[in-house]
Amino acid sequence: MRAHRGLRYTRYASVNKRVRALEGSGYVKKACVKRTKAGFEASTYELAAKAYLAILLNSVSLEELLTRLDETAANLILADIIRIIGF
């Protein structure tokens, strides 16, 4: 991590706290756990589907999304939103 210029003076505790928060909210998930040379366990994380959806929705405007949807896709999305929100 310290090899990256922008993260050179970033403390491990700060990164660890943020990763734990992202894991708790469902944006990242553990990909695997490996043993280090010192004998500790180190987790590798990957983006969850929720994070990919957030990135996609951030890059596409709602108006553009609505113009590209056909009736079937719109119905599926609407049904899922209603199910999640609980209207």
Residues 81 and 53 in one domain: yes
The reported pLDDT for the residue numbered 1 is: 52
**CA 39 vs CA 20, 34, 35, 51: distances in Å:** 22, 9, 6, 31
Residues 43 and 56 in one domain: no
Q: pLDDT category, 7, cuts 50, 70, 90?
A: confident
Residues 41 and 54 in one domain: no
The radius of gyration of the chain from alpha carbons, rounded to an integer in Å, stands at 19
Q: What is the pTM of this model?
A: 0.69
pLDDT above 90 (res 58): yes
Spell out the alpha helix ranges (H) of 3-48: 12-25
CA distance linking residue 35 with residue 67, whole number of Å: 49
Residues 22 and 39 in one domain: yes
Beta-bridge partners for 47: 28
Higher pLDDT, 7 or 59: 59
Residues 36 and 68 in one domain: no
Q: Which residue range is the domain that position 30 belongs to?
A: 1-47
User: How many independent structural domains does the chain possess?
Assistant: 2
